[in-house]
Amino acid sequence: GESVGLHLPTLSVQEGDNSIINCAYSNSASDYFIWYKQESGKGPQFIIDIRSNMDKRQGQRVTVLLNKTVKHLSLQIAATQPGDSAVYFCAGSNTGNQFYFGTGTSLTVIP
Amino acid sequence: EPEVTQTPSHQVTQMGQEVILRCVPISNHLYFYWYRQILGQKVEFLVSFYNNEISEKSEIFDDQFSVERPDGSNFTLKIRSTKLEDSAMYFCASVKGTDTEAFFGQGTRLTVV
């Protein structure tokens, strides 16, 4: 039969709290990762990237952590705001240009 | 700020018809991509294009699909004989060089009826 509705993991946080969104990847050859934010009806929007020779990278209110040992990536958003509500995807690349996306997490910020 | 533009924003077509989705990548970018996203699901890679030829394609990108960069600015995705399951958002992306971010367009919502 037909499936409707979101198949994505969801995360709800109170406004002002910190959010942590996780992503696992399977290809150990992946050497470049990006977190994208996707609002309803729009294309993915770049948030922050990290290369495999780094463990951590910080941006404005966002931090990405990379654990290559367990092939895990996380995105931390500090002081989450209502405008942060969106679907967040991690994407990895092992060829330097093509990206494969994770399943995404739907973040809802509760005012 | 430069951006990737896609037209149309919404395309409705009858099953079996051909559609062409259009994209104008950022002008100094070298790598171009098409992705699709079925409602509520993750973004899926279709094809990458570099130096006027396909550099990589996924299993989804079968003989029904083709891409073209006809004039040095447009990058098109043609879907022949559309099926109901082709209904999705189709995103074009471009990348300046290796290991740099992909810039995405706003997408074309394709509805096959």
Within a domain: B98: yes
CATH of the domain at A40: 2.60.40.10
Within a domain: B88: yes
Within a domain: B48: yes
B-chain CB neighbours of A100 within 8 Å are 45
Q: Which residue has the tokens 């941006």?
A: A59
Closest CA to A62 of A44, A94, A88, A42: A88
Express each pLDDT in B13-57 by its tens digit: 999 999 999 999 999 899 999 999 998 888 999 999 998 999 989
Within a domain: B111: no
**Per-residue pLDDT in tens (0 to 9) along chain A, 111 residues:** 332 333 468 999 999 999 999 998 888 788 889 999 999 888 999 999 999 999 999 999 999 999 999 999 999 999 999 999 999 999 988 765 678 888 889 999 999
**Paired tokens of A82:** 């209502």
* CA-based nearest distance A10→chain B, Å: 12
Count interface pairs A-B at CB distance under 8 A: 68
Q: Do B102 and A91 touch (CB under 8 A)?
A: yes
Q: Are B32 and B50 in contact (CB under 8 A)?
A: yes
Within a domain: B60: yes
Q: What residues make up the domain containing B53?
A: 5-103
Q: What residues make up the domain containing A24?
A: 18-110
